[in-house]
Chain A
Amino acid sequence: MESVITLSRAQFALTAFYHWMFVPLTLGLGIFVAILETIWYRKRKQEWMDLCKFWMKLFGINFAIGVATGIILEFEFGTNWSNYSWFVGDIFGAPLAIEGIFAFFCESTFFAVMMFGWKKFSPRSHLAATWLTIIGATFSAWWILVANSWMQHPVGMEFNPDQMRNVMTDFWAVAFSPVAVNKFCHTVFSSWSLGGVFVLGVSAWYLLKGQHIDFALKSIKIGGIVGITGILLTIFTGDGSAVQVTKVQPMKLAAMEGLYEGQEGTPLIGFGIVNPDKTYDNDEDPMLFEISIPKGLSVLGRHDLNAFIPGIKDIIDGKDVIDGEIVNTVPYSERIERGKIAQAALRDYDNARKSGDSEALSLADSTLKANYPYFGYGYFNKVDEAIPNVQLVFYTFHLMVIIGGYLLIYLLIALILAYRKPHLLSAKWKKIPVFPLIALVSIPLVWICHQCGWAVAEVGRQPWTIQDILPVGAAISSVSEAQVLTTFIIFAVLFTVLLIAELSIMVKQIKKGPAESID
């Protein structure tokens, strides 16, 4: 059973990882292409059309594989997480269906107009289709992120013991949960920054080669604006994310910082090495080495220099902060007990319902209601089962923040140079083309940053599929280890081959340059 859980998680992570290689480029490059077409529409100069069509071609190559890798994710909820699909399908299925009905359908139709409709539609209609493709893709992301956010912070639902599942009670609470709104903004804006970095990197390659200089400079100027806007808004919404996580997923925040014992005015670790021997119940130092910012985590999480941020041990002991006050809530050991009581009550409820024993039904119902908030904890036997992988969450979080900080500086300098000293972009220092090299190295870095962000979000939520309600171990399908291992290997090989194929086609297109790529 354990290996099926691990493999199912690995398969979902693999497919999500590959999907997220392509989606942020679709969102980021899409907004860039739409801006270029808008400039062309207003100026009607061929150079802007050339710019637009070149980048649109790369957008199209990437779009196809983004679509290909996405279909698996929707169906994997059923194939590998069948308990999950029933237990919360009443709530979770709705955003996925809405995404399909509106966003995905419109997106793919507008995409066809955008890519192949230059001669069939008027410039105004074509421009509208381009913008609507991007809006459609973004709208699509909205519903997917609503679904994901609901897993992080389940709202707008109640448990129905007759149906033995959770049912939706408030659609708007699900669709516009503050966690969803923030996650959507953070994800989309970070995709803009990725799009900007990609454009700068490709353009810098032309500078390095001494080709298409004017084309490259124009691209850097517009791409730089998209990138810097994206990274600034990403940082702003990242602050919002930190506040949300502090409030609704304190265990994730503690893991992000490797924090085991909280304090008032908790420092933020800027750089550190996690002690692998540290557990929540031993006295080892959590960090082997650290450089901290005093009171930083309190400011980040609560916007208060002296706020108390609970660590992993505090949370397990039931210590939390509610309305600014440190309070003792229910310790994890008690949550596990009460979770088991809730599960036993559900079994009793089911038996009473089948036998028509109304008295037993009423008793089981009241016991279940009193303990349902801890239902998911009943699947654990020990409190440490409720702790995510601290090392992985810590390192991915810090890598994301460090790369994010670097990207801010890089994009800012690139933009200033592009507008003020464009000749410096191609300049060499001791025969080293500094900017092109930095720009090219930044391309993989921005992708690493994105993947780290998702790792923090998803690994940090572990061991839950739905926070506090359903752990991964109780969410799986009746499949065998061999089955999941086989499909995992197939997906790994296939997606890797398709990625290589995509990169090869894209590189070829970039080498051809803008003039040759125009239809």
Chain B
Amino acid sequence: MDYTFFQEYWWFLISVLGAVLVFLLFVQGAQSMFLQKMPEQQRESLVGAVAHRWELTFTTLVVFGGAFFASFPLFYSTSFGGAYWVWMLILLGFVVQAVSYKYRSCEGNILGRKTYDIFLFLNGVIAPVLLGGAVSTFFFGSDFTISRSNIVGDSGIISQWGPWHGLEVLADWRVVVFGLMVLFLSRVIANLWYINQIDDEGTRKWNRHQLLVNGAVFVCLYLVVLAVLLTATGYETVGEHEFRLVEYKYLHNICGNWWVLTVLLAGTVAVLAGIIVSLVRPSFTKGIWFAGAGTVLVVMALFWAAGYFATPYYPSSTDLSSSLTIYNSSSSEFTLKVMSIVSLFLPVVAAYIGWVWYKFAK
């Protein structure tokens, strides 16, 4: 097992964490529906059904950030330091979310329940859109340059960004569509979660109606994103810091590698099956597991297409040579080895969490 193995292994782990995070954003998807018009009792049951799940999304985000820091510190340094507003908005949303579930129904709650519901709504919209937008820059690039020698240079800072510090990506319609797609995906999974969890026909009916709208919007956006990705021109690595433009780069990455294509197709079919069967068969409540598993598979496949196959996963739209690959931005071999040993315990942690929530569900 050489350095390259550990770099690729850690990109695989990042893809798993990213995929699980996108699935768990269903909590945010649910929150984005809290302010819709509905009976108060139904609203409380919707809140209650995700109230003790937010910690998982929150901790997955923390682990995702920590894992990126430990394994690809140059990405952490560049993206977080540059796309300042984007990350700050994401974080602020998670800060207010973390207290809202607990405090909204507590006595002595001076801000009032409605304020916390607005906090939850804001986090519910901001987090999926901006996280989705941030992930889309893995394909569409960002406005930055990197020069490590700046650490002893006049400008002093390794990564330099344009004047909009990451907000400029919002002017790219592809990024906006990607972010909206993640928002509607999270709403779709939330609807499926409620159909599975809340044993009340009225609530299920309301969620099926929502699922129809959210599902239709999501499918449209997903098709647009796929079309854009598969026809996009991408960068290809030809040296440590040398790249060239390749037409249909992501089409080659996906269709030229049967296992990526298989995972992407399987995931897509599972998501669509989860949505469609839930809509046409009112007694079917297991759609969440199909759509959830499908989401994880699709996101993993997209991460692989973004980072493997001589592709820079964080392309610079300003300076080609500043683009980040999993090889030029990773931690040292020693650190990746140490962290790889630590990562072997991840299945144990996941199994424990699964067992606890199984007990709760029972």
Contact = CB atoms under 8 A, between A and B. Distances in A.
Interface of A: 1, 60-61, 64-65, 67-69, 71-72, 74-75, 77-87, 89-94, 96-102, 104-106, 108-109, 111-113, 116-117, 120-121, 160, 163-165, 167-169, 171, 343-344, 346-347, 350, 378, 473-474, 476-480, 483, 487, 490, 494, 497-498, 500-502, 504-509, 512
Interface stretch (B82-90, B131-139, B174-182, B291-299): B82-90
Contact of A86 (B67, B73, B88, B156): B73
Given A82-B81, A86-B78, A89-B74, 11 more contacts: A69-B95, A79-B81, A83-B151, A83-B156, A85-B80, A93-B335, A101-B349, A108-B59, A168-B331, A346-B149, A505-B107
Interface string B345-362: 110010011001001101
Nearest to A345: B152
Contact of A478 (B82, B96, B110, B148): B82
Nearest to A143: B66
B4 interface: no
Contact of B62 (A69, A71, A106, A350): A71
Given A99-B66, A112-B55, A75 B352 contact: no
B338 interface: yes
A494 B95 contact: yes
Residue among A89, A169, A473 with max Cβ neighbours from chain B (10 Å):
A89
A64 B65 contact: no
**Which 10 pairs from chain A and chain B are nearest by CB?**
A78-B80, A82-B81, A508-B108, A89-B73, A68-B98, A477-B81, A93-B70, A93-B69, A100-B66, A97-B70
A378 B156 CA distance: 13
Contacts of A163: 148, 332
Interface string B93-111: 0111111011100111111
Contacts of B25: none
A430 B203 CA distance: 64
B183 to A, nearest CB: 21
A85 B108 contact: no
A502 to B, nearest CB: 8
B268 to A, nearest CB: 29
A498 B99 contact: yes
Nearest to A497: B111
Nearest to B333: A167
Nearest to B341: A171
B252 interface: no
B334 interface: yes
Nearest to A77: B69
B47 interface: no
Contacts of A113: 356
A106 B349 contact: yes
B359 A120 contact: yes
A71 B342 contact: no
Interface of B: 52, 55-56, 58-59, 61-63, 65-67, 69-71, 73-74, 76-82, 84-85, 87-88, 91-92, 94-99, 101-103, 106-111, 148-149, 151-153, 156-161, 165, 331-332, 334-335, 338-339, 342-343, 345-346, 349, 352-353, 356, 359-360, 362
Contacts of A497: 111
Contact of A160 (B59, B332, B349, B362): B332
Nearest to A470: B151
Nearest to A516: B107
Contacts of A87: 151, 158
13 contacts: A61-B102, A61-B106, A74-B69, A75-B65, A81-B81, A86-B148, A101-B346, A106-B349, A109-B55, A112-B356, A160-B332, A501-B99, A505-B106
Contact of A343 (B97, B152, B349): B152
A483 B83 CA distance: 11
A397 to B, nearest CB: 31
A477 B59 contact: no
A50 B339 CA distance: 43
B95 A109 contact: no
A483 B166 CA distance: 12
B212 to A, nearest CB: 33
Nearest to B152: A343
Contact of B87 (A78, A86, A94, A494): A78
B339 A97 contact: yes
Contacts of B81: 78-83, 85, 477-479
Nearest to A1: B156
A105 B92 contact: no
Contacts of B360: 112, 116-117, 120
B332 A508 contact: no
